[in-house]
Amino acid sequence: MSGGDNDVVLIKGNKRLDGRGFDELRDIKMEVSVLERAEGSAYIEWGKNRVIVGVYGPRELHPKFLQDPTRAMLRCVYNLAPFSVDERKKPGPDRRSVEISKVCAEALSSVVMLERFPNTVIDVYVEVLQADAGTRCAGLTAASLALADAGIPMKDLVAACSAGKVQGQIVVDLMKEEDNFGQCDLPMAIIPRKSEVVLLQMDGKLSRDEFKQAYKMAVDGCMKVYEMQKNTLLGSMNKFVGVEGGVENGD
Partner 1 sequence: MLNVKDRDLVIPGQLLGSDLFYDINCFTENGSVFSCVEGMVRVDGKKVKMVPSNGVYLPKRDDVVIGVISDVLVGKWLVDINSPYLCAMRAEEVSRDAAKKDLSQFFKVGEIITAKVADVDEVYSCQLIKPWKVEAGLIIDVGPKRVPRVVGKQKSMLNMIRDKTGSRIIVGQNGKIWLKGGNVDLAVSTIKRIEKYAQTQGLTDQIAELLDKESAAAGGRFAREEPCSCGHEEEHAENDSF
**Where does this chain bind partner 1 (CB under 8 A)?**
39-40, 57-60, 69, 111, 113, 117-120, 148-157, 191-193, 229-230, 233-234, 237, 239-242, 245-248, 250-251
Residue 194 or residue 208: which is nearer to partner 1 going by CB?
Answer: 194
| Residue closer to partner 1, measured from CB, 31 or 156 | 156
Question: Among candidates 110, 141, 111, 143, which has minimal Cα distance to 126?
Answer: 143
| DSSP code of residue 26 | P
What is the C-alpha separation between 35 and 41, in angstroms, rounded? Answer: 6
How far apart are CB 247 and partner 1 at their closest, in Å? Answer: 5
| Minimum CB distance to partner 1, residue 84 (Å) | 29
Phi-psi region of 220 (alpha: psi -120 to 50; beta: other; left: phi over 0): alpha
Min separation Cβ 240 and partner 1, Å: 5
In whole angstroms, how close is the CB of 119 to partner 1 at the nearest point? 6
Residue number, 102 or 155, with CB nearest to partner 1 = 155
Q: Closer CB to partner 1, residue 155 or residue 212?
A: 155
Give CA–CA dist 166/200, Å, rounded: 19
Q: In DSSP terms, which residues pair with 45 in a beta bridge?
A: 29, 50
User: Any alpha helices (H) in the chain, and if so which ranges?
Assistant: 95-109, 135-149, 176-181, 208-236
Shortest separation between residue 39's beta carbon and partner 1, angstroms? 7
DSSP secondary structure string for all residues of 28-72: EEEEE---SSSSEEEEEEETTEEEEEEEEEEEE-SSGGG-BTTB-
Pairing assessment for the beta strands 184-191 and 159-166 based on DSSP bridges: antiparallel
Q: Which is nearer to partner 1, 48 or 239 (CB)?
A: 239
CB of 28 vs partner 1, minimal distance in Å: 17
In this complex, which beta carbon is closest to partner 1, that of residue 103 or of residue 111? 111
